[in-house]
Amino acid sequence: MLYRAEPRSDKNAAYSLGFRVPQEADFEDLIPVKVGLKTQILPADEAAVAMAARCLTEGGLVAFPTETVYGLGADAARAPAVARLYEAKGRPSFNPLIAHVADIAAARQIARFDRTALKLAEAFWPGPLTLVLPKTARCPVAELATAGLDTVAIRIPAHPITKALLRAFGGAVVAPSANLSGHVSPTTAAHVAGDLTGRIDLILDGGAVAVGIESTILACLDEPMLLRPGGLPREEIERVLGHALQRPPEDAVTDNAQPLAPGMLASHYAPRTPVRLNASHVEPDEALLAFGHAAPEGAHAAKAVMNLSETGDLGEAAANLFGYLRILDAESARAIAVMGVPHHGLGEAINDRLRRAAMGR
């Protein structure tokens, strides 16, 4: 068996989301994976982008930079390519993917936009916003990629390399973050290579990404609802809408609840080292993930220290977050102590990822 996809027959709207509650076994019983592919890593110049587009056309798997994090792309319309993608990531099959397209015209072939969705698309695309919308009748995205839902997640990325790749390929590309399922999202090509060498065909190296945290996901089915805080701060969306966004129910991100965006599984972003949040001091053998200029008690004895942003800049902190977690995770520390990060603007997404990291795997 290639994958364990179980498209559901009872199709729900996205935020009643027709996924069964994930079981512990889903994580232990990940998809069997063929390793041993020759994974090429190429600087993302014009020739490499053309090669990547061909590779996608042939059903291959290509990792590429977006402005948020590196994505692992497959032809959205080809179920076997999507199956390979789930397989390469070891991703639980109940977790649907984001379709990436080049422009609004392409987006409208896939999803139905109401007035609000159009307004948001015009305001924020291309950029780090994903909209969950009803599928069109002729939606070309494979059922496997949407986990059998009636809705589809879609975004137009802003990164010049992603745009060039989408233009050269000519269709929709589904792309989760280019890491093994459960690992921290990659912000450099080296992170991708560390997780996926031997499992995918090609990595386009476009350097470090700018935003560093995944896109904000908004369901636009009736009242817009924030499913995942991300690279576009909530406040900017609320400014365009002219009112506050509906919040998902409090228990949406606990392991026992039906996840809203299925990827909101509580322990999604987990380093191997335990993570201790809101640390005001550093304990023996701990590494420190700092924020701001003030050093907490015991910082001088920390096994390693990385500062998300000495000046307290949340954009800089978001861009550094996943890379620094990886660096500290490699220190064999007893735990990673994390200083508090303010909760406004990009801080909401940063705190969301940190909370998940702290829940372990």
Which residues bind to Mg ion, rule: CB under 5 A?
Answer: 177
Nearer to ligand TXA, 95 or 307 (CB): 95
Q: Can residue 227 be called a binding residue for ligand TXA (CB under 6 A)?
A: yes
Which range binds ligand TXA by CB under 6 A, 52-60, 146-154, 189-197, 269-277?
146-154
- What tokens does 163 get? 């745009």
Q: Is 49 in the site for ligand TXA (CB under 6 A)?
A: no
Residue type, 60: G
Contact call for residue 69 and ligand TXA (CB under 6 A):
yes
The CA distance from 96 to 123, in Å, is 25
Candidates 110, 153, 161, 337; binder of ligand TXA (CB under 6 A) is 153
- Gap between the Cα atoms of 99 and 268, Å rounded: 20
Write the DSSP assignment of 55-122 as a string of letters. Answer: HHHTT--EEEE-SSSEEEEEETT-HHHHHHHHHHHT--TTS--EEE-SSHHHHHHHB---HHHHHHHH
Quickly count: other Cβ atoms within 10 Å of residue 25's Cβ.
7
- Select from Mg ion, ligand TXA, none the partner in contact with residue 39, using the beta carbon and a kind-dependent cut-off of 5 to 8 Å: none
Q: Which of 203, 261, 321, 341 binds ligand TXA (CB under 6 A)?
A: 261
96 binds ligand TXA, rule: CB under 6 A: yes
What is the C-alpha to C-alpha distance for residues 314 and 310, in angstroms, rounded to an integer? 10
152 binds, among Mg ion, ligand TXA, none (CB under 5 to 8 A by kind): ligand TXA
Q: What is the spatial distance between Cα 200 and Cα 60, in angstroms, rounded to a whole number?
A: 8
Query: From the CB of 305, what's the least distance to Mg ion, in Å?
Result: 27
Q: Which of 51, 55, 107, 149 binds ligand TXA (CB under 6 A)?
A: 149
How far is residue 212's CA from residue 23's CA, in Å, rounded to a whole number? 30
Q: Applying CB under 6 A, which of residues 39, 93, 151, 273 lies at the interface with ligand TXA?
A: 151
Instruction: Report, in Å, the least distance between residue 150 CB and ligand TXA.
Output: 8
Chain centroid to CA 42: how far?
22
What distance in Å separates the CA atoms of residue 106 and residue 342, rounded to the nearest whole number? 38
Among 71, 126, 233, 292, binds ligand TXA (CB under 6 A): 71
Residues of this chain that interact with ligand TXA (CB under 6 A) are 14, 66, 68-69, 71, 95-98, 130, 132, 146, 149, 151-153, 175-177, 214-215, 217, 227, 261-264
